[in-house]
Structure 1
Amino acid sequence: MRVLVTGCNGQVGHYLVEQLRGKVDLLSYSKEQLDITDQVAVFSIVSEFAPHYIINAAAYTAVDKAEQDVDLSYAINRDGPQYLAEAADRCGAVMLHISTDYVFDGDVDGSYTERDATAPQSIYGESKLAGEIAVAEACRRHLILRTAWVFGEHGSNFVKTMLRLGAERDALSIVSDQVGGPTYAGDIAKALITMIEFIDAGKEPLWGIYHFSGAPYVSWYEFSRVIFDQAESSQILDKKPLLKAIPTREFPTPAKRPANSRLNCDKIVQQFGIKPSDWQKALINIRNYK
């Protein structure tokens, strides 16, 4: 089995390489090694390697900065995935692509299913939705994995930010009216690999979009409480900071965040047997996040 991974130094990409190394014929590229917006380079690499699977873990994820870097956001989140999908279709490969909860407006009650209407409220969300559409149109055999609130031991994320701020400050104000499912990056990688193994076993999946995120759903405030409780019990912080729950309006940002990022994961459970990410279990080894 030949697998091509892009964005291998990102949060999910790191775990993809870690979990695939030695098990498949793996070719992985960081953003420095392969600019996925370079169509000629993408086509050349895919044509030469002839992968059975392409996993795109590369993305422009600076949500607030994207409001100014519009062209770059679309180049990385739409054009790059399109080129990879076109190359995958040419060589008969399966294209796997990571997307986001930001394709939704966050205004509905309950959890979002794959059938719910999209309505991104930011450039980041718009560019990621454009990437989904481009991948679906360019490659018939595609799997798009929408996820949310990604964290892990590698790269920048909310858990690391909280641990840093908790060591520097006695009190923190955390948004409490945005709710979602924190998702461990290692579990996202595992989910993508499980999808590959399903197909490689000769099974034909329902191609298209799947949701995968963590459980239980929490607010950022509730998530931070668990982070600091674990940090204190693991003795990596001498004292937990005092936490204050605040509404989004008291923490304005250039890009609008979805108030509701709950992703319904029933479809991926039924098709692939992949259960939601256990984010609380992932925090047990919180020492590794420092």
Structure 2
Amino acid sequence: MNTMFVEVKNLYKSYNNSMVLKDINIRIDKPGVYLIAGPNGSGKTTLLEIIIGLRKADKGSVIINGKFGNDIETKEKVGFLTQENSLRKSSKVKEELNLVKDIFNLNIDTYEYLCKFGLQKYYNKRTKQLSGGTKRRLLVTMLFMAGQDIVILDEPVSGLDPFNRNEIWNMIKDYSRNKIVIVSDHYLNEAARYSDYIYLINEGRIILSGTTTDIMSLCKDRYLIKVRKEFFDEVENFISAHFNDYEVRISGTVYHIFLKGDKNRLIRMLEEKGMSFAIHDVDFEDIYFYYTGTIVNQEGVVK
């Protein structure tokens, strides 16, 4: 059996009589990026904290490399990056790197290591001088320095600009070539591009899991059209007369129609009628909405 694996079995967790994790089952046994995706409050952080041993589950178990997750030796072999900025404000970047070097007794040139991630110009700067995005990139660099076989990152790109999000995801993808990397995120479309396997979580339950291809195949060849409530009846009458395969989901005053068929024909009809609409191929955020009725905005908040 591969000694590098994480297994979560029948996990439950509640706070104040409210169930936040419900029968979670996960098995990870080979290198790659494993995404836990869902909105804020869906249970992502609680799940990761239980895996790393910072919280206890009410029921179920976590097994890492053949040992229970609360084993002290096991905890030390798993890296974890929280959402918080844990850098010392008065220290220099090189001092933060040397601290990690000393803790893990690493034989490494910290400046050369920083060069790998394009951060060498900050080597002698104080951490308080860094931007939020650069701080996060530094924290990810420090996490990867130890070379642990399993690392967990909780919302590592949340609140960052597109450039820094892309830089961090590339760092994660590169590290995952021979390591297990578990990441939580609410930027579903972006995170999915970098992930090998995805767990979609909603209200404490894993509602879907699979490879990127597996999940996208659930809505293969479908596209999504959004119309306002006042146009829906007329649009549906046309669709029901000319399309055999369609389903409707509602969010507020907007009707989301998932369908297969001649897209151009539908567009022509809507334009001739002067109707306002939006149309695109189904993506991961659409699939999440299709199965949960939940739309997640860029801040991870349910709309």
TM-score normalised per structure 2: 0.27
Comparing both structures, which one devotes a greater share of its residues to helix? 1
Comparing both structures, which one devotes a greater share of its residues to strand? 2
Q: Which structure's CA Rg is the greater one? A: 2
